[in-house]
Amino acid sequence: MIDLRSDTVTQPTPEMREAMRNAEVGDDVFGEDPTVNRLQALMADLTGKEAALFVPTGTMGNQVCVKTHTQAGNEIIVELNSHLYNYESGAPALLSSVQVMPIPGIRGSFTLEQVQAAVRPKNVHHPLTALICIENTHNRAGGTIFPLEEIKRISLWAHEQGIRMHLDGARLWNASIATKIHIAEYCRYFDSVSLCFSKGLGAPIGSIIAGSTEFIQRARYYRKVFGGGMRQAGVLAAAAIYAVHHHFQRLSEDHRRARVLGEFIHHLPHVELDLQTLQTNIIIFNVQKTGLSGQQVIEKLAEKGIKMSTFAGTKIRAVTHLHITDEDIEQTQRALKEIFMNRKYK
């Protein structure tokens, strides 16, 4: 089965399993796991931040950062289709008692002018805008990259207003590889960042958050509050360290394969795909004009040994990753051709 549903379906390679088996461990809640400490030091250096903290999931990383930055009754600004707004179970309201102000972006990006219009005037009738969250790359927009120049503009203005910045960089690795911009250059404009190891890098579990020493000290408390304090977590940290050293640079292969598959899909009859979204490893296309629902296409693909995912009725997502080969892309193209090229349209 060719599984293109997500880059979260990857499994540890034999070499990664060996690194996990050999990991030196301790009690991380006591700060005594040497492998976790090594991972945190590595990621603080890579992001250009003073300190970092290992957490079980990307959602927990984002929510620990929201909680650490805000007070109950504050408002945070996010993009309308962001992961933080759509796929984190209402956690900002539940865990931090903050209100969310969504901004509709274009391919996942918004502008400084949109932020300025969304920030509440300082008035007793309004919540205080405390945090701006940016997702890079943007999952639901198709793995698109938030332009660095716009990040700079937003960050400069936000900090002048006393508003903090958080980067949901679950797939920041992909943005860095695609643009050749160093991870730290992206991160320097944010007060906190989160990055996932369990997507394109292929680790089985884990994310990192990074920021100032004082921020991470407070974040460690909320990680414990949210149930994220792990004990002998070095086994997992070893997988993350291996992934950073061995799977980061190879993301360009995922991007190349996504481009090949995406351009093929773009030329299928009545299938819509915005080529400007083909920036990293995620492909999103719309089958509305084919007369088929997204679920019908998913079922037809499954019959041919291919898994993709669907959302919004007629939109389908395919994600290239560590386990997808050139032969898999060719087989997927053949399957899509059989489904759409032989279909009779009115």
Summarised one tens digit per residue, pLDDT across range 113-144 is 999 999 999 899 999 999 999 999 999 999 99
Domain assignment present for 4: no
Q: Which tokens sit at 228? A: 């994220």
> Domain for residue 319, yes or no?
yes
- pLDDT tens per residue across span 245-272: 999 999 999 999 999 999 999 999 999 9
Q: 254 and 116, same structural domain?
A: no
Same domain, 255 and 119: no
**What tokens were used for 61?**
């990383």
Alpha carbon distance 218, 224 (integer Å): 10
Average pLDDT, the chain: 96
Question: Does residue 345 form part of some domain?
Answer: no
- The answer to whether the CB of 185 falls within 8 A of the CB of 152 is no
Q: What CATH number does residue 222 fall under?
A: 3.40.640.10
Residues 233 and 272 in one domain: no
What DSSP state is assigned to residue 138? Answer: B
The confidence score (pLDDT) of residue 341 equals: 82
Quote the pLDDT of residue 41.
Answer: 98
Q: Which of 247, 271, 299 is the last residue of a domain?
A: 247
- How many domains does the chain divide into? 2
Percent of the chain past pLDDT 70, that is, above it, reads 99
Q: Is the pLDDT at 344 greater than 80, yes or no?
A: no
**Which two tokens mark 114?**
């949109």
The larger pLDDT score, comparing residue 344 to residue 137, is at: 137
pLDDT in tens, 9-51: 999 999 999 999 999 999 999 999 999 999 999 999 999 999 9
What residues contact 214, with CB distance under 8 A and at least 6 apart? none
Residue where a domain stops, chosen among 228, 247, 266: 247
What number is the average pLDDT over the span 89-115? 97
Residues 179 and 62 occupy one common structural domain = yes
The Cα–Cα gap between 286 and 54 comes to: 37
Q: Could you tell me whether strands 75-79 and 315-319 are parallel, antiparallel, or unpaired per DSSP bridges?
A: unpaired
Residue 95's pLDDT band (cuts 50, 70, 90) = very high
**Whether 104 and 215 share a structural domain:** yes
In this structure, the answer to whether residues 231 and 259 fall within a common structural domain is: no
Angle at 309 between CA 306 and CA 314, to 5 degrees: 115
Per-residue confidence band for 343, with pLDDT thresholds at 50, 70 and 90: low
Q: Are residues 231 and 273 in the same domain?
A: no
Bridge-based pairing state of the strands 315-319 and 282-286: antiparallel
pTM of the model: 0.95
- Domain range holding 318? 250-340
Question: Which pLDDT score, from 0 to 100, does residue 312 have?
Answer: 82
What's 269's domain CATH number? Answer: 3.90.1150.10
